[in-house]
Chains A and B, each alone.
Chain A
Amino acid sequence: MVEDLTARFGENTILQGVSFKVFPGEVFVILGVSGCGKSTLLKHMIGLYEPSSGKVVIHGVDITQADEGQLRRVRMQFGVSFQSSALLGSMTLAENVSLPLQEYTDLSPEEVHLIVKMKLGMVNLAGYENLLPSELSGGMKKRAGLARAMALDPIVLFFDEPSAGLDPITSAELDALIKTINRGMGTTMVVVTHELQSIFNIAHRVIMLDKSAKGIIAEGDPRWLKENATDPRVRDFFNRQISKGIKER
């Protein structure tokens, strides 16, 4: 749950009084045109940025006020898949995925190895555990990043632009993976994206952010919004239309 969140960088206000709830088990998409503050909002939700005011409550804990111990416990309950996959380049995939398991659990090395194999299998990377991230393609890195994010079976998974830089097939595979994990494990998914196809494919509910409004301009089912939204900015986004600015000449 995000309550009355305001995000500022110096004098520049990015988001003003943003409030919304994410329900357990849903795929919740934060969308909007580039520069509207989607990634900034996500980084506030995962506790990387501190808001100027407002609350971010995950499982009853306000992470903006939480002490280190509380934050550590909350962080065990969520996983983040970063835009650039953010795998540690000096470590193999197995070492990357086993990092949170070694840090947060008392599992034996054999058990950790078994879980790593399972997680990599879940993201269709079975057998790749000894490879370095530099030996993988972009899509494989994204999936490996997801395997690491899922290492501790989090309650919530955050995705920052999962389809960015991927071809349509790899992107569709990743969407399918998100849906499978959501259905199979009931994991709540919070996805930041502007890929329309992805949004219609995976989202149960969306919020749309806007740069000039500095906040949410639409909320609901994307299919319903596409057909019924009255705000021209929302309509343009869902129908890939240009109403102002650059026109085709």
Chain B
Amino acid sequence: MKQKTQSNLLKIIIVGDRGGEITLSPVGRIETESLHAFLKEATSLVTQMDPRKLVVDLSKVGYLDSAGALGLIHLEEMMKSRSISFQLIHVTGEASRILDLVDREALAVTPLASEATPENIFEEIGQVSLKICSDFVALMTFLADLLGGLLYSFLHPRSVRWEDLFFYMRRTGVEGLPIVGLLSFLLGLIIAFMSSLQLKQFGANIYVASLVGVAMVTELGPIMTAIIVAGRSGSAFAAEIGTMKVNEEVDALITMGFDPIRFLAIPKVLAAVLVVPLLTLYSDFFGIAGGLAVGVLGLDLTVNSYLQATMKVITVAAILKSLIKSVFFAALIAGIGCQRGFQVRGGAEEVGSATTSAVVAGIFLIVVTDSAFAILYSYIWKEVFTF
């Protein structure tokens, strides 16, 4: 006979000889916390003593929970697999009820495969390819619906939810002013500072003004503003509509006879299209102000000469081009945000991925569209417009 202490909760008394009948008497509690100790000891006992029969005496067990019952059943299965006979003795009524609760068949059931987890790499590649195709189709369908909705709104201005439109104009535009202003100012400052390091060597300080002005108005102003709006508002649109999908609010709108695109997406897209060009102008202004700060404080230029140099390079055409570009950026950001929101099917996790996807796809499309505009402006603009 020997006694082993496994934990504060459980002791096990072992009676019997190697190769013969062994009685195992747990003393204390067999529960979740002592399960590990119990199973470890029982397994090592079987390996060491190789019994013909294992008897577990429950008379000294003060408490048995379902994890403890599972431990006993697991032990029994282990003995069966090693052809060792197994017996539980002194099982109280309470213990027997808990043992009955454990469904032995359930422990052996083969798990079903989740449809969400692909079997192998080829299946995964296939699924991803299909997803990209269906995403593209969904995006095109949505854009067509959105254009239809916009056209309807122009023809029927009374159908536009003006209150929502003003709300989203405030959200996207007014509330974005501080961050757009600050980032554009810093961007102008950095460009001016970095370019001045080079231009100073040639005494061409005044060209810092031209460089900052052209860079901000033609490229950085619209792009910077669009990226900030994608991060602030595109994501917010996706999260808002996604959560509404999860809560079946979109379904409720459909059953009430509303077109969710006209109800939810149009005010957001229109608001973005109206305020993003204004934000772009604001961004241009702050970018130039950032350059001016470096010019005046670091390059000994006067405010007047800096602004005059800037005015020389900024044409009405350049401003118009950047505004047209920003209208397209705005439509894309808001459109993608809403579309990703409408795509949500499951729960909170999908809202998160829709939000991420709205920002990533938004920024990607901004860059692609910007490249397209660069080509368009260089080859076509001059042919059509002359300012």
| A interface residues, Cβ below 8 angstroms from B | 89-90, 92, 101, 105-108, 111, 114-115, 117-122, 126-135, 150, 152-153, 180-181, 183-186
Partner of A118, one of B33, B66, B116: B66
- Report how far A89 CA is from B102 CA in the complex, Å: 27
**Contact segment of B82-90, B346-354, B366-374:** B346-354
Q: List B contacts of A152 (CB < 8 A).
A: 32
Contact between chains at A130 and B102 (CB < 8 Å):
no
Partner of A184, one of B97, B106, B113: B97
Scan B95-136; emit 1 where CB is below 8 A from any A CB, else 0: 001101111011101111111110000000000000000000
- Report how far A22 CA is from B213 CA in the complex, Å: 74
Contact between chains at A115 and B101 (CB < 8 Å):
no
Contact between chains at B114 and A121 (CB < 8 Å):
no
Q: List 27 A-B contacts (CB under 8 A).
A: A89-B347, A89-B349, A105-B32, A105-B36, A108-B36, A111-B35, A111-B36, A114-B107, A117-B107, A121-B106, A121-B109, A122-B101, A122-B103, A122-B106, A126-B103, A127-B110, A128-B111, A130-B113, A130-B114, A134-B116, A135-B114, A152-B32, A153-B66, A153-B67, A185-B65, A185-B66, A185-B98
Would A89 and B348 be within 8 Å (CB), given that A132-B116, A135-B115, A153-B66 are in contact? Answer: yes
Would A126 and B106 be within 8 Å (CB), given that A105-B32, A186-B94 are in contact? Answer: yes
- Report how far A167 CA is from B66 CA in the complex, Å: 29
- Report how far A133 CA is from B349 CA in the complex, Å: 11
Contact between chains at B32 and A115 (CB < 8 Å):
yes
Q: List B contacts of A132 (CB < 8 A).
A: 114, 116, 346
Instruction: Considering the complex, give the chain B residue whose CB is closest to the CB of A110.
Output: B39
Contact between chains at A107 and B32 (CB < 8 Å):
yes
Q: Is B74's beta carbon under 8 Å from chain A?
A: yes
Q: Is B76's beta carbon under 8 Å from chain A?
A: no
Instruction: Considering the complex, give the chain A residue whose CB is closest to the CB of B99.
Output: A184
- Report how far A119 CA is from B32 CA in the complex, Å: 12
Would A185 and B105 be within 8 Å (CB), given that A122-B66, A132-B116 are in contact? Answer: no
Contact between chains at B35 and A130 (CB < 8 Å):
no
A216 → chain B closest CB, angstroms: 32
Contact between chains at B106 and A106 (CB < 8 Å):
no
Partner of B32, one of A101, A135, A181: A101
Contact between chains at A183 and B97 (CB < 8 Å):
yes
Partner of A130, one of B74, B100, B111: B111
B109 → chain A closest CB, angstroms: 4
- Report how far A134 CA is from B32 CA in the complex, Å: 29
Would A120 and B106 be within 8 Å (CB), given that A152-B32, A153-B65, A186-B94 are in contact? Answer: yes
Q: List A contacts of B70 (CB < 8 A).
A: 114-115, 118
Contact between chains at B116 and A135 (CB < 8 Å):
yes
- Nearest first, the 5 A-B pairs at minimum CB distance are A121-B106, A126-B106, A89-B347, A153-B65, A121-B103
A3 → chain B closest CB, angstroms: 28
Q: Is B31's beta carbon under 8 Å from chain A?
A: yes
Tally of contact residues, B, Cβ under 8 A: 36
- Report how far A94 CA is from B312 CA in the complex, Å: 68
- Report how far A89 CA is from B107 CA in the complex, Å: 24
- Report how far A117 CA is from B109 CA in the complex, Å: 9
Contact between chains at B347 and A130 (CB < 8 Å):
no
Q: List B contacts of A153 (CB < 8 A).
A: 31-32, 65-67
Scan B132-159; emit 1 where CB is below 8 A from any A CB, else 0: 0000000000000000000000000000
- Report how far A150 CA is from B32 CA in the complex, Å: 11
Contact between chains at B114 and A131 (CB < 8 Å):
yes
Q: List A contacts of B348 (CB < 8 A).
A: 89
Q: List B contacts of A119 (CB < 8 A).
A: 66
B78 → chain A closest CB, angstroms: 11
Contact between chains at B109 and A126 (CB < 8 Å):
yes
Q: Name, among A108, A117, A128, the residue most crowded by chain B CB atoms within 10 Å (CB to CB).
A: A117
- Report how far A105 CA is from B168 CA in the complex, Å: 49
A50 → chain B closest CB, angstroms: 25
Partner of B105, one of A92, A106, A126, A134: A126
Q: List A contacts of B100 (CB < 8 A).
A: 184
- Report how far A130 CA is from B114 CA in the complex, Å: 6
Contact between chains at A111 and B346 (CB < 8 Å):
no
**19 additional contacts (CB under 8 A) given A131-B112, A185-B66, A185-B97:** A89-B347, A89-B350, A105-B35, A115-B35, A118-B102, A118-B106, A119-B66, A120-B106, A126-B103, A126-B106, A127-B110, A130-B111, A130-B117, A135-B115, A150-B66, A152-B32, A180-B101, A181-B101, A184-B100
Q: List A contacts of B103 (CB < 8 A).
A: 118, 121-122, 126
- Report how far A153 CA is from B64 CA in the complex, Å: 10
Q: List B contacts of A118 (CB < 8 A).
A: 66-67, 70, 102-103, 106-107
Q: Name, among A132, A150, A181, A186, the residue most crowded by chain B CB atoms within 10 Å (CB to CB).
A: A132
A244 → chain B closest CB, angstroms: 30
Q: Name, among A92, A111, A128, A132, the residue most crowded by chain B CB atoms within 10 Å (CB to CB).
A: A111
Scan B333-347; emit 1 where CB is below 8 A from any A CB, else 0: 000000000000111
- Report how far A122 CA is from B100 CA in the complex, Å: 10
Would A121 and B97 be within 8 Å (CB), given that A115-B67, A134-B347 are in contact? Answer: no
- Report how far A133 CA is from B114 CA in the complex, Å: 10
Contact between chains at A121 and B32 (CB < 8 Å):
no
Contact between chains at B101 and A127 (CB < 8 Å):
no
A92 → chain B closest CB, angstroms: 7
- Report how far A134 CA is from B351 CA in the complex, Å: 13
- Report how far A249 CA is from B32 CA in the complex, Å: 58
Contact between chains at A127 and B98 (CB < 8 Å):
no
Contact between chains at A184 and B101 (CB < 8 Å):
yes
Q: List A contacts of B112 (CB < 8 A).
A: 127-128, 130-131
Contact between chains at B66 and A89 (CB < 8 Å):
no
Q: List A contacts of B346 (CB < 8 A).
A: 89, 132, 134
